[in-house]
């Protein structure tokens, strides 16, 4: 699916460039990352409560995992798993598979809040805007281990 989006994006950029007057260039928008403050502290706080209620029995109170069945959701376990993904990808997977005994049972707000809490616990900075409940709105937010791009 990403290849299709990328191809459409390239074709769209080429079409847009063809419409510009000679000598004008299309300037690509910078890619966003989790280092750009993509959730709020208030959202992460709500997410902590929801996480403790819905997720901690398997993934641990501090997102440390259980050493076997339920993976850790912090540090290398998180950044290594999602390094080439997006926050939208995380939202899709979490909603489709969690809680394990009742996937997709939580509201979109709760899923977004829990992902915001996961980002906070991975030491990504908070910002002024809440993480969207729509995974499509977060497909341009890259997950990166460090703030360098």
Q: How many CA atoms lie within 13 A of 66 on its CB side?
A: 8
- What pTM was computed for the model? 0.79
Average pLDDT over residues 54-76: 94
Q: Is the pLDDT of residue 82 over 50?
A: yes
- Distances from the Cα of 66 to the Cα of 52, 57, 126, angstroms: 15, 9, 27
Burial group, residue 92, by CB count within 10 angstroms (0-12, 13-18, 19+): middle
With beta carbons less than 8 A apart as the criterion, state whether 33 and 141 touch: yes
% pLDDT > 70, the chain: 79
Cis peptide before 99 (omega within 30 of 0): yes
Helix (H, G, I), strand (E, B) or coil at 142: strand
E-only strand ranges, the chain: 32-33, 141-142
- Specify the range with the lowest mean pLDDT, choosing from 19-33, 41-55, 119-133: 19-33
Range from 12-26, 27-41, 69-83 carrying the lowest mean pLDDT: 12-26
- CATH numeric code, 31-142: 1.10.760.10
* CB 19, CB 32: distance < 8 Å: no
Lowest mean pLDDT across 48-52, 118-122, 145-149:
145-149
Q: Residue 67's pLDDT is what?
A: 83
Q: Residue 11 pLDDT more than 50? A: no
């Amino acid at each position: 699916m990403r290849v299709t989006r990328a191809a459409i994006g390239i074709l769209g950029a080429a079409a847009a460039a063809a419409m510009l007057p000679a000598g004008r260039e299309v300037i690509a928008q910078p890619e966003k990352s989790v280092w750009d403050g993509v959730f709020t502290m208030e959202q992460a706080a709500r997410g902590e409560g929801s996480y403790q209620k819905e997720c901690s029995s398997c993934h641990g109170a501090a997102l440390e995992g259980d050493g076997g069945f339920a993976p850790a959701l912090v540090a290398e376990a998180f950044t290594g798993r999602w390094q080439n993904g997006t926050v939208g990808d995380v939202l899709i997977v979490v909603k489709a598979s969690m809680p394990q005994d009742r996937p997709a049972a939580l509201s979109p707000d709760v899923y977004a809040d829990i992902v915001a809490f996961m980002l906070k616990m991975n030491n990504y900075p908070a910002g002024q805007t809440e993480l969207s409940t729509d995974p499509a709105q977060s497909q341009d937010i890259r997950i990166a281990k460090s703030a360098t791009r």
